[in-house]
Every structure is written in structure tokens, then in C-alpha cells.
Amino acid sequence: MVAGGKLVHATCVAAAGRGVLISGPSGSGKSDLALRFITSGDIERLCGAPPRLVGDDQIVLENVSGRVIARPPTQLAGKLEVRGLGIVDFAHVAEADVALLVELVSSNEVARMPDNDICTDLLGVSLPLVRLNALEPSAHIKMALALVGAC
């Protein structure tokens, strides 16, 4: 725990103030998926706003009036690990309301026709959950489509 919230090993991106919390084991592609999401022009067209980084590797989560707010730790704000290049600075937002959870899994664990009503509890808030394989070339587009569809 950190002052005012819970520290989790995850990455968070946002578009139009709505955040996507990306979780998965180390090396599963969280940072790479975030990189594709925040640099793709397709995401702005799908979400109606430019995508931004919230934070990479560590995220502070807090339940604020029934909403899960994600923030980067101060020392990591605007920094994204780009494998092969190191730490790269990106435009970022200070916080986002988490609207979607993405769990990174192996390709054989991704349901072909998933139940669209899968939710999970995060800090006492029920949020939609999508399981994706970050290594699929279209994973960032799938994530944006899920974000747009999340209530």
C-alpha cells in the first residue's frame, strides 16, 4: 500500500478520461501493448480522444466515491519501458477512471467467443474484464473496442 491507495504491478492507459488497467505476468507484454495503444492513430478514431499513458509497471489505485482512480507513482509519471530502447518519456495524464481491466494471457487462453458480461471486483467496484494476448498484432485495437463498449 501507498499513502492514499494500493500499489499494483500493472500498466494503465486512457482515452477520453477512461482508463484501461493492463495486468499480467512480467514479460507478458503490458508495456508493449500500452506503446501500441498510445501511438496508434486508430485509437483516437475509435475512442474519440487521443490516447495517453497513465503509468507503466506500477500503478496506484484508489476507490474514490465508487470509482477506481489510477495514478502513476510520481517517479514513474510519463515513463514507459520500451524493450530494446530503455525508458522513454511520453505525454501522460495524471489520473484516469478505470473503466476496463485487461488481463494478458497466452493465446490458447483467449476465448474465441467470450461472454461479454465478465466482470471482476477491484477495490469494491465491479469492472468489465477482457482477456487478451498482447502479442497479437491487433491487441491494441481489441482493447480500444472493449473500452468503447464498456459501460
* Tens of pLDDT, residues 20-73: 999 999 989 999 999 999 999 889 888 888 999 999 999 999 999 999 999 999
What predicted TM-score, i.e. pTM, was given to this entire model? 0.92
Grid coordinates representing 128 are: 468489465
Residue 79: active-site member: no
Residue 36: active-site member: no
Quickly state the pLDDT bin for 4 (edges 50, 70, 90).
Answer: low
Candidates 9, 67, 83, 89; catalytic one: 9
In a domain, 63, yes or no: yes
In a domain, 58, yes or no: yes
Residue 30: active-site member: yes
pLDDT at 114 over 50: yes
- Cβ distance 38 to 30 under 8 Å? no
Number of domains comprising the chain: 1
In a domain, 109, yes or no: yes
Residue 131: active-site member: no
pLDDT of residue 132: 93
pLDDT of residue 115: 72
Candidates 36, 57, 79, 92; catalytic one: 57
Sign of CA dihedral 135, 120, 50, 142: positive
In a domain, 1, yes or no: no
**Helix (H, G, I), strand (E, B), or coil: what is residue 123?**
coil
pLDDT of residue 62: 97
Q: Determine the structural domain holding residue 61 and report its residue range.
A: 6-149
Candidates 45, 112, 117, 121; catalytic one: 112
Average pLDDT, the chain: 91
Share of the chain above pLDDT 70, in %: 94
**Dihedral pair phi/psi, residue 55, rounded to 5°:** -170, 160
What CATH number has the domain bearing residue 27? 3.40.50.300
Quickly state the pLDDT bin for 125 (edges 50, 70, 90).
Answer: very high
- Cβ distance 133 to 110 under 8 Å? yes
pLDDT at 1 over 50: no
